[in-house]
Amino acid sequence: MQDLVQNTAMALADLVIAAIPRQAPGEDSLRKCKVISHRGEHDNRSVIENTLPAFARARDAGVWGIECDIRWTADLVPVICHDPDGTRLFGCGDSLSRLSFAQVRESMPMIPTLAELVADYGGNTHLMLEIKEEAYPQPERQKEILQEQLSGLTPGRDYHFLALDPALFGKVDFVGREYCFPVAQASVKLLSQACIDHGYGGLTGHYLLLSDALKQRHALAGQRIGTGFVNSTNCLFRELNRGVEWIFSNEAVALQATVDRELLD
């Protein structure tokens, strides 16, 4: 029920923000804009989220980055999936953490591995990799696996880590904290202070949660913010006009087209 209320409130906010005309940003803001496709360009009918086809649609449209989620199989293969099981997307209720990778590939073949993601998109599309809250049966070995699979990429240039709980960044402490960004959902002031105190790269969250004052606070600390879910032209212009560069969106292809069109005018 809480999720339903929250989602309804955000949908109403989006309608209001989308209806308010905004001045087009200047060229400098448009060129600095980095659109990030939330779970790839998907509708979960013809194209499923967090799959290679969804990521391809974003990259092929010139979108700068893709956001995706890392989970683990029982035999410690990192895979890309938001949910702990395949019920919502694939009609398979088995928990990924209880299946071997071979079983996952057989029952849910569209779920890619992290290695496949890196092979196809590493170095040509920025990767925003979210660490999920789940059991880590062999945390040191799992850390080694992540480090090995990302070893050909450069943190900051090629990828960043995201997490709802900053404690999860301990799972990836082979990179500096400046490449880690907590995702704000509640207690934004406390999380913002933790970002500054612990030297994270900054903060991400819904555009209504991250105010201009908070953005300025992080800028003074040498940090940035990234806002989502920006799904309309007017909301995009709102964020760019207040100096936000990272734009997370479920409509990334359309927003990228808007940016490209504005730069041509």
Query: Residue 140 corresponds to which tokens in the numbers above?
Result: 């040191």
- Find all residues with CB under 8 Å of 235, minimum gap 6, and list them: 14, 17, 18, 207
What are 95's strand-pairing partners?
A: 85
Give the whole-angstrom CA distance, residue 240 versus residue 254.
Answer: 16
For residue 90, give the H/E element and its range: helix 87-90
Residue 153 belongs to some domain of the structure: yes
The overall longest dimension of the chain from CA atoms, in Å, is: 54
Residue 122 belongs to some domain of the structure: yes
Give the whole-angstrom CA distance, residue 229 versus residue 36.
Answer: 10
Total domains present in the chain: 1
Place of tokens 């309804």: 8
Tell me: pLDDT of 6 over 80. no
What are 66's strand-pairing partners?
A: 37, 127
Contact 36, 226 (CB under 8 A): yes
Residue 103 sits in a domain of what CATH number? 3.20.20.190
- Over residues 151-172, the pLDDT tens digits come to 999 999 999 999 999 999 999 9
Segments forming the whole domain that contains residue 127: 2-14+25-264
Residue 19 belongs to some domain of the structure: no
- Find all residues with CB under 8 Å of 193, minimum gap 6, and list them: none
Tell me: pLDDT of 1 over 80. no
Note the pLDDT of residue 13.
Answer: 85
For residue 80, give the H/E element and its range: strand 78-80
Please give the C-alpha separations between residue 33 and each of 69, 140, 244, in angstroms, as whole numbers: 23, 36, 8
Residue 65 belongs to some domain of the structure: yes
Q: What is the mean pLDDT of residues 107-129?
A: 98
Tell me: pLDDT of 149 over 80. yes
Note the pLDDT of residue 4.
Answer: 63
Phi, psi of 54 (to 5 degrees): -65, -40
Residue 157 belongs to some domain of the structure: yes
Residue 175 belongs to some domain of the structure: yes
- Over residues 179-223, the pLDDT tens digits come to 999 999 989 999 999 999 999 999 999 999 999 999 999 999 999
Tell me: pLDDT of 225 over 90. yes
Amino acid at 79: V
Note the pLDDT of residue 8.
Answer: 79
Instruction: Note if the bond before 229 is cis, omega within 30 degrees.
Output: yes
Residue 230 belongs to some domain of the structure: yes
Residue 20 belongs to some domain of the structure: no
Tell me: pLDDT of 69 over 90. yes
Place of tokens 């989220």: 49
| pLDDT-above-70 percentage for the chain | 97
Model's pTM, two decimal places? 0.96
